[in-house]
Structure 1
Amino acid sequence: MDVPALPPLLAAVLAAPQLGLTLALGAAVGVIMALTGAGGGILAVPLLVFGLHLPLQQAAPTGLIAVGTAAALAAVLGLREGIVRYRAAGFMSAFGMATAPAGVWLAARLPAVPMLLGFSGLLLWVAWRSLRAAPPGDAAPPEHLPCRLDPAQGRLRWTGRCARALGATGLTSGLLSGLFGVGGGFVIIPALQHVSNLDLRSIQATSLAVIALVSASGVVAASASGALPWAVAIPFGAGAVVALLAARVLARRLHPGHLRRAFGLLTLVVALMMIARAFGWRIG
């Protein structure tokens, strides 16, 4: 009896020479996303560049697969817990999905070295924000925030200022998502902390919902342009999803401040490695 042939894509995945490493790198992204709600996306691309030696133009959409899939799963779990602000997430996503294809278009046309240096600069900014201690009184009084939670209804009060702040956040995260393959959580989370009085768990869950939707837009655009190596993207994404589920329990037991500083130090090291890569240094 003849054994049915495997579908070509599945056969390519199983035959990949670095399948185990790809799964492990994806798992690292999932763990970071579970612990920080944002950081997995910005570290997915460096892992692919250094671990699998993908060019940045292919690493970016591959990272989006893992980030978007894991974020979608986490967002569904957040919806079940009632901590996702789905109206705000949908509003930001609409703007982000409009600009993500533009970022993909730019990424396919920019030279490799400027892209690497631009991504390194982004990493340095994220590291600085993560390591920087917020000064006392840094947060605005709740009555001055553009997006305030109505304690009676448990919903955000929508104003013109709130809509403009959320729209600008969505536009920025979408463009960076398409350009560098990052989820955009490093933009969304600080923005929501700055303009709203939502608690951190709600901010992280809402950010993940936006990441899932915006990443889908970037993945579609990258796939249409032929820049997405599916044989790598599928196991990378699978590793991220499994690890995210496993690490959610650990995330509840660790102090957010310690996580933020550890993530900042890791991001700083990766930024310096990306700068070295831009000037010709190679690993392996």
Structure 2
Amino acid sequence: MLIILLGMVVGVVLGLTGAGGGILAIPALTLGLGWTLVQATPVALLAVGTAAALGALDGLRKGLVRYKAAALMAIVGSMTSPIGLYLARQIPSRALVLMFSGVMMFVSLRMFLQARADAREGSSAGAIEKNCMLNPSTGRLTWNARCSMTLVSIGATSGLLTGLLSVGGGFLIVPAFRKFSDVRIHAVVSTSLMVVALVSLGTLGNLMSQGVSLSSEGVMFIVATLAGMFAGRLMAPRISAQWLQQGFAALCAVIGLLMLAKAVLT
């Protein structure tokens, strides 16, 4: 029951935010179930990758996915994720947990600040020029060198962290894509889900080729995550984006502190 509950929570958060499921999967498996980082990595990648793929397909059906931007970020991310996998094998497990804790705290701060910035932007008049802008006449992104390099940078960093910490990368893609583009939040989330799906499943394929396998408990967690994703996608339009960001920021802060305590005390 605990495996099912934790899997559903991860799926719901991923469906709501497009960002949180990946970064919550590892703590759910290591803190909630007592697994090691090595045991948790393939399960987290497959759970998040598959759930994100379902969410991305739903976004494609609704015309929300910026598929060219997603493809560029995913291609670059797939090139940098093997670097992250290599680095993860060279770094001691405790150091990886400390790094994960640091990432959680950073995400918490960034999500909280982003929510406050969005509230200020919503109350101010006038459009803000960003790196990637939608063409008013076509509704598509205006592609130029500035926009392309922005997306390449986001994809490269996301892929590196996916390989290194098995976090999916959505926690980086969503705030970064929102900050540097004028794409609406629901399209940002759907685009992030596509990138997370492609990069996570590609990274998992790399691990599988090295002989990594899944346990029956891992399969159960993955199925529960998929169920949670469906629930999260249904709830997403009914929840305030600002409230969601602030709540997720607080959750990340708590989990980051728990991961830090685990690394220090064990």
1:279 maps to: 264
1:255 maps to: 240
Structure 1 residue corresponding to 2:104, chosen from 123, 126, 140:
123
2:73 maps to: 92
The answer as to 2:113 corresponding to 1:134 is: no
Deviates more, 1:229-238 or 1:36-45: 229-238
- In structure 2, relative to structure 1, the CA distance for the partners of 1:230 and 1:103 (3 Å cut) is farther
1:67-82 alignment to 2 at 5 Å? Answer: 67-82=48-63
1:48 maps to: 29
- In structure 2, relative to structure 1, the CA distance for the partners of 1:111 and 1:277 (3 Å cut) is same
Cα distance per residue 1:104-147 (max 9 Å; x no partner): 222223101110110000000001112222284599x7573221
Measured on the aligned residues, the alpha-carbon RMSD in Å equals: 1.8
Superposition deviation, residue 229 in structure 1: 3.1
Contact kept? 1:147, 1:196, Cα under 8 Å: yes
The answer as to 2:18 corresponding to 1:37 is: yes
1:208 maps to: 193
Contact kept? 2:174, 2:192, Cα under 8 Å: yes
1:188 maps to: 173
- In structure 2, relative to structure 1, the CA distance for the partners of 1:27 and 1:276 (3 Å cut) is same
Contact kept? 1:58, 1:227, Cα under 8 Å: no
Structure 2 residue corresponding to 1:229, chosen from 198, 214, 217:
214
Superposition deviation, residue 228 in structure 1: 4.3
Q: Counterpart of 1:149 in 2: which secondary structure?
A: coil
Contact kept? 2:111, 2:175, Cα under 8 Å: no
The answer as to 2:204 corresponding to 1:219 is: yes
Count of residue correspondences: 261
Superposition deviation, residue 280 in structure 1: 2.2
1:246 maps to: 231
Letter aligned with residue 174 of structure 2: I
Cα distance per residue 1:200-259 (max 9 Å; x no partner): 000010000000000011101122223443433322111111111123222221111111
Q: Counterpart of 2:57 in 1: which secondary structure?
A: helix
Larger radius of gyration: 1
Contact kept? 1:33, 1:39, Cα under 8 Å: yes
Cα distance per residue 1:68-115 (max 9 Å; x no partner): 000000000000000100000001000001111221222223101110
Contact kept? 1:27, 1:240, Cα under 8 Å: yes
Q: What is the distance in 2 between the residues matched to 1:274 and 1:146?
A: 35
Superposition deviation, residue 197 in structure 1: 0.7
Q: What is the distance in 2 between the residues matched to 1:93 and 1:254?
A: 28
Q: What is the distance in 1 between the residues matched to 2:172 and 2:158?
A: 6
Superposition deviation, residue 265 in structure 1: 0.9
Q: Give the percent of matched residue pairs that are identical in Structure 1 and Structure 2.
A: 41
Letter aligned with residue 165 of structure 2: F
Letter aligned with residue 86 of structure 1: Y
Give the TM-score normalised by the residue count of structure 2.
0.92
- In structure 2, relative to structure 1, the CA distance for the partners of 1:107 and 1:230 (3 Å cut) is farther
1:60 maps to: 41
Contact kept? 1:131, 1:261, Cα under 8 Å: yes
1:150 maps to: 135
Contact kept? 1:62, 1:232, Cα under 8 Å: no
Superposition deviation, residue 44 in structure 1: 0.5
Give the TM-score normalised by the residue count of structure 1.
0.87
Contact kept? 1:45, 1:60, Cα under 8 Å: yes
Q: What is the distance in 2 between the residues matched to 1:65 and 1:233?
A: 9
Superposition deviation, residue 263 in structure 1: 0.7
